[in-house]
Every structure is written in structure tokens, then in C-alpha cells.
């Protein structure tokens, strides 16, 4: 006997080898012990639903999708950067503000100063906003501490947020995000510190599921990034990379050479970089919120990614500087409008491909027997509505690990 079965609607399984959206019209999905036990056409059930499950739920013509996955965020931070927003409107560039000690470093100061519970309280509304639009799994990076104590504080807050809100959290250590003031002009020394101290501390505390770095002219060089990746490998942690966001720095190929789970941003990535990603199965994570907020005009190489069959994920990049975004549905719209993804590609970007970007492809991202029963029920007539509408939330209900959230 299954615990629950949902019937009476259509299912976008997001399994890629069948109908668009992996759709099953008139479908049923059954859950037992928090996992998907069965999915298929209702007509294919072995008997009347009430004989198969303890509880039968009729979704009244709605659509069921996998729970959404935001696979790239910097959600936990202190303060905000509304003043910097004003400065950029007055003509200052993002890179110029960063060079002058504003930007990321102003958030570092605010995050260091915040007591852990205050950081939690400041970050919770951002998580709640994403969860209210169906996000059931989220990646959260450190990188606004840069010293051992604050990096670990951020990662602890990320884990606590997941526990408090019933959202699956994957944490990423991003020590190599910016050069902290105490290491000014000494980037190589800071990378020594990351490799010898902060990264090992995060790994030893069990607080990091992966390691990321910001490889860019205003951040760290490919050589410095490679050292961080080698340290991650020594601690058995997979890597990801902020790659080619502001210039072609060879980031995509570097990420691929280290078998990265994902390379993220990619606006300036060349076809050679895309080919390298295809060879190692590195996922492309596109971040339309940062593209929009920075008024970037260089498009990520979507046609090359398609041609080389690189999985394309879409994420919020939720952060106080370049992407103050807490709406995953807006990212679906922007991925289509700005990057010309199809609505189906965009939805795959926050489900199937996003799971791959987090190393969760076996357990999350599609509606298939054996996977975790994270599901969204939407009041829509067709899945493209999720990307089409702007500023509207048709989420009816969320099921997390088999349990309907209120």
C-alpha cells in the first residue's frame, strides 16, 4: 500500500526522452516513505486508486512538476547593496565599485559583523520567497566571510535554514570569492590560506558539499583557481566555477579539466570551452538575473551548448550585488526572454539539469520511481505558463519528501 497518490491532472516528469516536458496527460504519481513509488497514466494503475494508497488526492486538472531546484545562490549574507545600486545608476561600473573596496567587500564587512542568529533572520525571508515559488532544493554558497570563522558561520546558517524550512540545502564553500582586506595585494598568500586553512576547516566540519571559486580579472586567476580545486580534490569535494562572467578567462575549460559539476555564468565562454565541458559532463549554469542586473549584453553561448549537448541549468544567483533576486519563476522568464531558451529548456534548467549541477541527478530533478518525492502542483493549463508569466505565482501546493506542505 502506498502512502499517497495524486491523480486528476497532468504530470511534467521532465524526463527527457519522451514527450515535451516528459508529459503524462491524465497521470498519477504515488509516494511511499518519502520517495516516488510509481508514476504513469492513471489508466495504467493496477486497480482503483483508493485500493492502492492510504490517501488519494485529486489535483483537479492542475499540473505536477518536480520540486524546483535553485542550484546557484549566495543567499546568506548581511546587509544589502541598495546604495551601490544607486551608484551604478549614477554611472559607476560593477567592476569599478569592486576595485574601490565596495561591492563584495562591503557585504563581507556586514556578514562578518552579523551575529549568527541575525544572519539567519536576515536570510530566512529570501529562502521563504524562493520556497513560495516551489523551490524544494537550493544550493547556498559561503564567500562573504573569507575568514575561517565567518565562512563556517555562513555555511552553518545555510544548513539551519534548510532544517527550519524543510528545504534541501546543498552548501558550497566559496572562500576564493574575493580578496579580503587583511590580504590586500597578497592574493597568492590568501589562496595559500584558503587551501591550508579555511577550506580544510569547512571540510572537517562537514559543512561543505562542494567548492567554488570566482575566476575573473577582478577576482582570482586560473592558476590560483586550480590550486583551490586541487585542495578540494584532496578533501574529496567536487568543484564548481564562476567562469567567464565578465571576460573570456578560459574558466569553462579550467572547470572541465577539474571535472567540475558545473561552470556558471559563461557569457564570454568560447566554443572550445563548451566542447571541453561536453567531454567531462560539466553542466552549464546560466544566471539571467546577473545578466539583467549588470545590463550585460554578451549572450552566453546557448547555441554551442545545445549543439554539444551540454545540460543547461538556470539559477537565481541570489546575491546582494549582481543579482538581488528571490524569484525562481522570474528566472524562467528571463532565461527565455534574455537567453532565448525555450520554456521547456528553462523548466529543465531548474529541475533535471539543476539536479545534475549539484551532483543530485540520481535522486532529484525528475518525477521517476525511486526519486525523492519533491513535487509542485501548479494552477496552470500548460507548463509553458511557468516561464511565460511575469510576477505571477500559480503554485497551488508543494510536496516535500512526500509530505504536503501547508
**Number of chain residues interacting with Fe ion (CB under 5 A):** 1
Q: Which of residues 204-223 bind ligand DI6 (CB under 6 A)?
A: 214
286 binds ligand DI6 (CB under 6 A): no
Provide the minimum distance between the beta carbon of 385 and ligand DI6 in the complex, in angstroms, as a whole number: 29
Q: Which does 225 bind (CB under 5 to 8 A by kind): Fe ion, ligand DI6, none?
A: none
Provide the minimum distance between the beta carbon of 243 and ligand DI6 in the complex, in angstroms, as a whole number: 10
**Residue with Cβ nearer Fe ion (267 or 317):** 317
Answer for which of 240, 242, 364, 371 binds ligand DI6 (CB under 6 A) is 242
Give the span between the Cα atoms of 39 and 377, in whole angstroms. 15
Q: Which of residues 13-72 bind ligand DI6 (CB under 6 A)?
A: none
400 binds ligand DI6 (CB under 6 A): no
**Residue with Cβ nearer ligand DI6 (98 or 237):** 98
DSSP string, 213-271: EEESTTSB-HHHHHHHHHHHHHTT--BEEEESSSS--SHHHHHHHTT-SEEEE-TT--H
381 grid coordinates = 493549463
CA distances from 353 to 152, 163, 221, 356, 360 (A): 28, 24, 28, 5, 10
154 binds ligand DI6 (CB under 6 A): no
- Degrees to nearest 5, angle at CA 38 with 34 and 41: 140
**Number of chain residues interacting with ligand DI6 (CB under 6 A):** 15
Q: Where are the alpha helices (DSSP H) in 41-147?
A: 82-89, 94-99, 104-113, 116-131
Q: Is 154 helix (H, G, I), strand (E, B) or coil?
A: helix
240 binds ligand DI6 (CB under 6 A): no
Phi/psi for 30 (5° steps) reads -110, 145
Provide the minimum distance between the beta carbon of 82 and ligand DI6 in the complex, in angstroms, as a whole number: 13
216 binds Fe ion (CB under 5 A): no
Provide the minimum distance between the beta carbon of 106 and ligand DI6 in the complex, in angstroms, as a whole number: 8
317 binds Fe ion (CB under 5 A): yes
Q: Which residues bind Fe ion (CB under 5 A)?
A: 317
Amino acid at each position: 500500500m502506498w502512502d499517497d497518490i495524486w491523480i486528476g491532472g497532468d504530470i511534467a516528469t521532465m524526463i527527457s526522452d519522451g514527450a515535451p516536458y516528459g508529459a503524462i496527460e491524465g497521470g498519477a504519481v504515488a509516494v511511499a516513505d518519502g520517495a516516488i513509488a510509481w508514476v504513469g497514466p492513471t489508466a495504467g494503475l493496477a486497480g482503483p486508486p483508493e485500493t492502492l494508497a492510504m490517501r488519494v488526492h485529486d489535483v483537479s486538472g492542475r499540473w505536477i512538476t518536480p520540486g524546483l531546484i535553485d542550484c546557484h545562490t549566495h543567499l546568506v549574507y548581511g546587509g544589502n547593496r541598495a546604495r551601490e545600486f544607486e551608484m551604478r545608476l549614477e554611472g559607476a561600473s560593477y567592476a569599478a565599485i569592486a576595485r574601490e573596496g565596495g561591492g563584495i567587500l562591503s557585504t563581507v564587512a556586514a556578514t562578518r559583523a552579523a551575529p549568527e542568529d541575525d544572519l539567519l533572520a536576515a536570510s530566512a525571508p529570501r529562502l521563504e520567497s524562493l520556497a513560495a515559488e516551489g523551490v524544494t532544493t537550493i544550493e547556498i554558497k559561503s564567500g562573504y566571510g573569507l575568514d575561517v570563522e565567518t565562512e563556517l558561520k555562513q555555511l552553518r546558517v545555510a544548513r539551519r535554514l534548510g532544517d527550519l524550512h524543510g528545504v534541501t540545502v546543498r552548501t558550497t564553500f566559496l572562500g576564493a570569492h574575493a580578496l579580503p582586506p587583511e590580504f590586500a595585494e597578497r592574493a597568492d598568500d590568501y589562496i595559500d590560506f584558503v587551501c591550508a586553512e579555511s577550506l580544510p576547516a569547512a571540510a572537517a566540519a562537514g559543512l561543505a558539499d562542494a567548492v567554488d571559486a570566482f575566476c575573473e580579472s577582478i577576482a582570482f586567476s586560473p592558476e590560483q583557481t586550480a590550486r583551490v580545486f586541487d585542495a578540494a580534490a584532496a578533501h574529496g569535494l567536487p568543484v564548481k566555477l564562476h567562469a567567464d562572467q565578465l571576460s573570456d578567462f578560459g574558466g569553462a575549460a579550467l572547470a572541465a579539466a577539474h571535472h567540475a559539476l558545473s561552470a556558471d555564468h559563461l557569457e564570454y565562454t568560447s566554443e572550445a570551452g563548451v566542447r571541453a565541458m561536453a567531454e567531462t559532463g560539466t553542466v552549464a549554469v546560466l544566471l539571467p538575473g546577473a545578466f539583467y542586473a549588470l545590463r550585460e549584453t554578451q549572450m552566453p553561448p546557448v547555441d554551442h551548448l545545445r549543439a554539444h549537448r551540454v545540460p543547461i541549468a538556470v539559477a537565481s544567483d541570489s546575491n546582494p550585488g549582481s543579482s538581488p533576486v528571490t524569484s525562481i519563476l522570474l528566472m524562467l522568464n528571463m532565461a527565455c526572454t534574455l537567453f532565448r531558451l525555450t520554456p521547456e529548456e528553462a523548466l529543465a534548467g531548474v529541475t533535471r539539469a539543476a539536479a545534475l549541477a549539484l551532483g543530485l541527478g540520481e535522486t532529484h530533478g525528475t518525477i521517476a520511481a525511486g526519486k525523492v518525492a519533491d513535487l509542485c502542483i501548479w494552477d496552470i493549463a500548460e507548463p509553458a505558463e511557468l516561464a511565460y508569466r511575469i510576477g505571477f505565482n500559480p503554485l497551488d501546493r508543494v510536496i516535500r519528501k512526500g509530505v504536503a506542505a501547508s
